[in-house]
Amino acid sequence: MKRNILIVVLGITMLTPVLRSQGVAAADGQKTLAATMDVYAFPKAGQDAQQQSKDEAACYAWAVDNVGTDPFDLQKRADQNKAQAESDKQQQQAATRGAGARGAVRGAAAGALIGAIADEDKSDAAAKGAAIGALSARRRGRRARGQAEQQAEEKKQTADASAAEGTEKFKKAFSVCLEAKKYMVKY
């Protein structure tokens, strides 16, 4: 028991400067830690702003330990996943750029070869092959681009849902802790 209290006290003393650097102090009119997460706590036992700040810091540390996620880290990871999905989408678009020209060259070569085998005019067969190759390659490129965009969007939605779920669990734990310390909590 004494060890747990010591851990909480150490956590609060280590967490307080971090929270203040993020602009979370309540005494001077800035947002409280709870308010930065859209959790609103009202002191039912007449706690002052300094006590509320200490209680919120303690509950923050407790919720992180019990839930295993930090909502600020979750948001950073979600933003990184969104950026990665956008980067993947742009890479796919760059990879399919020029697909029509490459398809035209392949189609022209295949058309000329077929024309030679079928004893037709090679240039006419090459022109037909180029047109068919370009259309086919563009179609495949559009399909690949569409699939890449869909995958990027799914990845982004998954990251958003995961962050929202983790944040929701954290808010529940944080709220329970504050309620135990005699605060009325809404989020």
pLDDT of residue 16 exceeding 60, the answer is no
* Of 134 and 151, the one with more pLDDT: 151
User: Is it the case that residue 55 has pLDDT exceeding 60?
Assistant: yes
pLDDT beyond 70 at 26: no
User: Which residues lie below 8 Å from residue 33, measured CB to CB, with a gap of 6+?
Assistant: 19, 24, 26, 53, 56, 57, 60
Q: Which CA distances in Å does 148 have to 59, 142, 144?
A: 42, 10, 6
- Please compute the mean of the pLDDT values over residues 23-45 and round it to a whole number: 76
Instruction: Give mean pLDDT, residues 124-142.
Output: 74
Average pLDDT over residues 33-50: 91
Q: Mind listing the pLDDT tens digit for each residue in 89-122?
A: 777 767 666 666 666 667 666 666 666 666 677 6
Q: Which residue has the higher pLDDT, 105 or 150?
A: 150
Is the pLDDT at 18 greater than 50, yes or no? no
Residue 68 C-alpha from the chain's centroid: 18
User: C-alpha angle with apex 150: 144 to 156, nearest 5 degrees?
Assistant: 135
Q: In this structure, are residues 39 and 185 in contact, taking their beta carbons and an 8 Å threshold? A: yes
Non-local (6+) Cβ contacts of 132 within 8 A are 107, 111
Work out the average pLDDT over 6-33: 51
